[in-house]
Amino acid sequence: MKSDPVSKPPKAKTATPPAVHLQTIGPEEAGQRLDNYLLRWAKGVPKSHVYRIIRSGEVRVNKKRAEPTTRLIEGDVVRVPPVRIAEPAQMAAVNTAQTKSRARGYSDKMPILYEDEALLIVDKPAGLAVHGGSGIALGVIETLRITRPELKFLELVHRLDRDTSGVLLLAKKRSALVELHRQIREGQTDKRYYLLAHGEIAQGAQVMQLKFPLHKYLLANGERRVRVDPDGLPSHTALRVSKTFKKDEAAITLAEAQLKTGRTHQIRVHLQKLGHAILGDDKYGFEDQDKLIKSKRLYLHAHLAGFTHPRTGEKMRIESPLPKEFESMMKTFPQLVDE
């Protein structure tokens, strides 16, 4: 009687080794520095490694050595040596049906306020991060890249905190991104927010100019925070009170904040320093008072963005209506004063 042959275990599949990449620069990549192009293309590769392969001559532009500061032009051919690109968790999940379904759900809750060949402007809901990371698989940018695959270039022009809602600008052309970043840098944009704050803010007829220097730091768990500090960076918020409301011992104020600078958590920290933290702020707010009035979210909403169109030169003013949660909260308070 013959014994059964011993079956051989299947050979383990070997990973495909990384290969040399030849990248031809198109109109959307043109104009940027070589190092910035590579850092964006080779996501997950340590920055130090990117600079090493440039300086060692392993990266070539049109078969010649190049510097990190070399400006790329349309038609340039960039040779990139074999590198293993670490795939972030949010990108690894992109092709799954579950992720695509979730992205469609997020997209349905994100109305488009304006779109043309250069810009995409959406009304971001509270609770949705602008980009993935730190355990977040999908943010606004990943959602739109999945649901709008025909867009070959799409980048955030600016950011909003995860719990802040409202107008969010994205660029569909690199030239538009560069121009809008210039406008932001030179203070040529207008960004305004509606907020509901704890307490009755006494303002009078004048707009309040809040100018507290801000310092960024990290908690022990790595979470980012900001505090007012004499050695911090200058910041400026113009605050205009609209209405105040009172119910029993509690009061709230509806106000508009106009950013003159764009520091991290600027409006939230300025209102905290003023003694009137924003409703529902779990980082800089008043937890007991939030529980008392049953705050459901961070009551901060980017309602207006003003800028010059990067292609046409037209003055743009994009607005988002006051969210229903704001209206519902104010209805629970009798109006106290019209400013």
- Hey, which residues are catalytic here? 161
By CB atoms closer than 10 A (0-12, 13-18, 19+), residue 310 is: buried
The kind and range of the H/E element at 177 are helix 174-185
Of 110, 49, 121, 122, the residue nearest 80 (C-alpha): 49
Could you report how far apart the first and last alpha carbons of the chain are, in Å?
A: 101
Q: By the 8 A CB rule, do 301 and 197 touch?
A: no
Q: Is 324 helix (H, G, I), strand (E, B) or coil?
A: helix
Q: Is 107 helix (H, G, I), strand (E, B) or coil?
A: helix
Helix axes 47-55, 34-41, angle to 10 degrees: 130
Q: By the 8 A CB rule, do 139 and 128 touch?
A: yes
Q: Is 276 helix (H, G, I), strand (E, B) or coil?
A: coil
Q: Is 46 helix (H, G, I), strand (E, B) or coil?
A: coil
Q: By the 8 A CB rule, do 268 and 208 touch?
A: no
Both tokens of 225, joined, read 């925070």
Of 57, 29, 31, 47, the residue nearest 86 (C-alpha): 47
Phi-psi region of 177 (alpha: psi -120 to 50; beta: other; left: phi over 0): alpha
